[in-house]
Amino acid sequence: MSGAPGPAPLAFATRGLARAYGTTHALVGLDLAVPQGVVYGFLGPNGAGKTTTIRCLLGLIRPDAGTMELFGEPYTARDRHRLEQVGSLVESPAFYPYLSGRDNLRVIGSTGAAPARGRVEEVLELVGLRDRAGDRVGGYSMGMRQRLGIAAALLSDPRLLVLDEPANGLDPAGIVAMRETLRYLAAQGKTVFVSSHILPEVQQLADVVGIIDHGRLVRQGRLDEMLRETGHVRVRVLSADAGPAREALERLAGRDAVWEAAGQGDGDGWITVRVEPSRAGEVNRVLAQAGIYATGLDSGSDLESLFLSLTGNA
Amino acid sequence: MRLLGGELRKLVKRPATWITLGIFLGVLVLLFLAVGASYQTIGRAPAGQGGGPEAQAAIRSLLAFPGAYASVASFIGSIGGLFAIVFGASAAGSDWGWGMIRVAVSRGESRGRYILGKLVAVALLLVPGAIAAFVVGVVAVALAATIAGLGTAGMGSPDAVGTLPWLAVRTWLALVEQAAIGFAIATLARSQLAGLGVGIGIYFVESFAAGFWPEWVRYLPFSVVTSLLREPGTAGGVDVNGSAGALASTTVDQTTALLLVLAYLIASAIVSAIALERADITG
Ligand SMILES: Nc1ncnc2c1ncn2[C@@H]1O[C@H](COP(=O)(O)OP(=O)(O)OP(=O)(O)O)[C@@H](O)[C@H]1O
Ligand SMILES: [Mg+2]
């Protein structure tokens, strides 16, 4: 091994991935790079192509064009056996309704990579379904099915875990437990690729995010870096002060970094400055030096505003 | 082996499997008992109304041992074929309905191995299924013969008993072939209901067409079963239409029938494997 660190090894990557359903172009040249050992948040508006990407990865559909890599090696329709190292839960979990939760895991384990001895009980315990494992799945609640789906995804101890909206129907305790499980897996060096619409959840969970829209990547990178760029400080000032406040803040942060929220009648208005949240004090001082006193101030950075600005839904 | 075990577990634990078998056995028993009970009445009825000694002779050839063994086999192969279609179609089709194909494929299971493992599981379960039907059928026909006053003499004749193993194997093959056709249609249509509906539809169209073009229809997948299960040299046998006896022009010889049944079986397996291999698994 040479001393210089090479590019981080990738668990999964796509290049120019394209796929249409009839005349609907779901993916049009998608380039993703999912590093190993991270939780990767896969985001995009409804119909962006997230599930389609996951279907290509899982060998359920064939891409029309483009290439994929799995664990650093080319991955084509002929390498589908390598999915034995991938665990997944796509859309709603699927089970035989007439079988018990335990029997479902057993028959699922009869395909692909053999689960280790005792693994069925282990994953049942992990998702908190041990008590109900003998009941028919047909009688499970939505959240219980979702938990069982997560158990099934973990059954063969995968290197890469692919989850399509896994928080669907989970209760708060279930969401916390899932978050802990996923963080734990990433800490073990496994890769978790998770699509979600619950952005605060992703913000708590993901190391890296990729945002797609209309079948294309619009942004990908480390979440903390992205959030640093998208940090903001908001101040509330009397409407009479809005003009001078704006000027003062533009001198601080630049013209493009300041905007006024649409005023609500003749009351106070919010002005947003795109700076790191840690500079809130500085913003306040600049205003005070201009003789303006803010009636309110908050700061933060959130994935939601980044997501909305990137996907054109702001 | 693990794959096969999983498939067997699914089928054995599935209520539909037992319901299908139960209904078939019920139909089997009721039909034979009804035939047995009608024997005396038919004998007294005038020939113009479907009665008379000729009609009685036809029933006798159905119920009297040792020929009755062949009637049981032929009944299982023909009417049981309908139930085999249902069984095959629901084994293959329900996986689509419940989204379980997606689960298997995304675990890295080979599509071809998966679908063939499933078909083998269907064929394996038809072994106890055919044996149960045979045993129940023989008991029912013996009862029917007793009710008819024909007795069960000849039941234990060594000649007849000697032919039973091969008869049972042919009956099983007939069921497997018909199940495989339902299986293939359900896989192509990605639906249990479509497999079952289209399969049963073809079954009836075929038996209807046999009335017009028997010399061609005898080679078709459901009709050829009649030829496969006919005991050479006996008049026994119920064809798809349920009428006793068979003319040479409406049947083929047993070896040809056997080869055709195997060909249809293999073709169904290949069609299923190709259909799944090419399918987009969405939803
Ligand atoms: N089976 C299908 N047949 C036809 N069109 C499809 C099919 N599946 C997806 N599409 C279309 O492909 C596009 C991308 O869909 P996809 O399911 O990948 O989006 P998504 O990002 O997962 O959306 P969501 O957030 O709603 O789950 C959409 O326009 C959708 O209508
Ligand atoms: Mg989706």
pLDDT digits (tens, 9 = 90+) for A68-93: 999 999 999 889 999 999 999 998 89
User: Averaged over A31-47, what is the pLDDT?
Assistant: 95
What is the CA(A13)–ligand 1 centre distance, in A? 20
User: Averaged over B217-243, what is the pLDDT?
Assistant: 67
pLDDT of residue B229: 87
User: Averaged over A265-284, what is the pLDDT?
Assistant: 79
Burial of A82 (0-12, 13-18, 19+ CB in 10 A): middle
User: Averaged over B223-228, what is the pLDDT?
Assistant: 87
Q: Are A68 and A82 in contact (CB under 8 A)?
A: no
Q: Which two tokens mark B243?
A: 């009428």
Please state, in angstroms and rounded to a whole number, the distance separating the CA atoms of residues A138 and A78: 35
Contacts of A152 in chain B (CB under 8 A): 103
Q: Which two tokens mark B151?
A: 């007795």
Q: How confident is the model at residue B181 (pLDDT cuts 50, 70, 90)?
A: very high
User: Averaged over A182-207, what is the pLDDT?
Assistant: 92
CATH 3.30.70.120 fits A230-311, yes or no: yes
User: Averaged over B22-34, what is the pLDDT?
Assistant: 94
Please state, in angstroms and rounded to a whole number, the distance separating the CA atoms of residues A269 and A40: 37
Please state, in angstroms and rounded to a whole number, the distance separating the CA atoms of residues A276 and B46: 104
Q: Whose CA is nearest to atom 24 of ligand 1?
A: A46
Q: Whose CA is nearest to atom 19 of ligand 1?
A: A47
Q: A106: distance to nearest CA of chain B, Å? A: 7
Please indicate whether residue A46, judged by its CB atom, sits closer than 6 Å to ligand 1. Answer: yes
Strand partners, A194: A41, A163
Domain enclosing residue B260, as ranges: 2-278
Strand partners, A13: A33, A69
Residue B182 vs residue A311, higher pLDDT: B182
Please state, in angstroms and rounded to a whole number, the distance separating the CA atoms of residues A88 and A85: 10
Q: How confident is the model at residue A122 (pLDDT cuts 50, 70, 90)?
A: very high
The 8-class DSSP code of residue A111 comes to S
Contacts of A81 in chain B (CB under 8 A): 108, 110
Q: How confident is the model at residue A264 (pLDDT cuts 50, 70, 90)?
A: low
Q: How confident is the model at residue B226 (pLDDT cuts 50, 70, 90)?
A: confident
pLDDT of residue B245: 43
Using a CB cutoff of 8 Å and minimum separation of 24, what contacts does B207-214 make? B207/B240, B207/B241, B210/B239, B210/B240, B210/B241, B210/B250, B211/B241, B214/B247, B214/B249, B214/B250
**What pTM was computed for the model?**
0.86
Of A114, A191, A206, the residue nearest A160 (C-alpha): A191
Of A12, A64, A66, the residue nearest A194 (C-alpha): A12
Q: Whose CA is nearest to atom 5 of ligand 1?
A: A21
A→B interface, C-beta within 8 Å: 21, 55, 58-62, 80-88, 90, 92, 94-99, 103, 106-114, 152, 156
Pairing mode, if any, of strands A39-43 and A191-195? parallel
Numbered ranges of CATH 3.30.70.120 in chain A: 230-311
Q: Which two tokens mark A98?
A: 């007439």
Architecture of the domain whose range is A10-224: 3-Layer(aba) Sandwich (3.40)
User: Averaged over A146-154, what is the pLDDT?
Assistant: 94
Share of chain B above pLDDT 70, in %: 92
Q: Count of domains in chain B?
A: 1
pLDDT of residue A267: 60
What is the CA(A310)–ligand 2 centre distance, in A? 19
Three-state secondary structure of chain B: CHHHHHHHHHHHCCHHHHHHHHHHHHHHHHHHHHHHHHHHHHHHCCHHHCCCHHHHHHHHHHHCCCHHHHHHHHHHHHHHHHHHHHHHHHHHHHHHHCCHHHHHHHCCCCHHHHHHHHHHHHHHHHHHHHHHHHHHHHHHHHHHHHHHCCCCCCCCCHHHHHHHHHHHHHHHHHHHHHHHHHHHHHHHHCCHHHHHHHHHHHHHHHHHHCCCCHHHHCCCCCCHHHHHHCCCCCCCCECCCCCECCCHHHCCCHHHHHHHHHHHHHHHHHHHHHHHHHCCCCC
User: Averaged over A211-223, what is the pLDDT?
Assistant: 94
Q: Which atom of ligand 1 is nearest to the CA of A50?
A: 21
Contacts of A114 in chain B (CB under 8 A): 2
Largest CA distance in chain B: 68
Q: How confident is the model at residue A297 (pLDDT cuts 50, 70, 90)?
A: confident
Binary contact (A84, B108; C-beta < 8 A) = yes
Q: Is the pLDDT of residue B243 over 50?
A: no
Binary contact (B13, A82; C-beta < 8 A) = no
Angle at B122 between CA A88 and CA A60, to 5 degrees: 25
Q: Is the pLDDT of residue B274 over 70?
A: yes
Q: How confident is the model at residue B150 (pLDDT cuts 50, 70, 90)?
A: confident
Q: Is the pLDDT of residue A262 over 80?
A: no
Give the neighbor-by-neighbor strand order of the sheet with A258-260. Answer: A258-260, A269-273, A232-237, A296-300
Identify whether B243 is part of a domain. Answer: yes
Q: Which two tokens mark A57?
A: 């990865």
Q: Is the pLDDT of residue A3 over 70?
A: no
Q: Number of residue pairs across A and B with CB atoms under 8 Å?
A: 94
Tell me if residue A106 falls in helix, strand or coil: helix
Q: Is the pLDDT of residue B242 over 70?
A: no
Handedness of CA A49, A50, A53, A58 (dihedral sign): negative
Q: Are A81 and B110 in contact (CB under 8 A)?
A: yes
Q: How confident is the model at residue B76 (pLDDT cuts 50, 70, 90)?
A: very high
Q: Which helix (H) or strand (E) holds A182?
A: helix A172-187
Identify whether B283 is part of a domain. Answer: no
What is the CA(A50)–ligand 2 centre distance, in A? 6
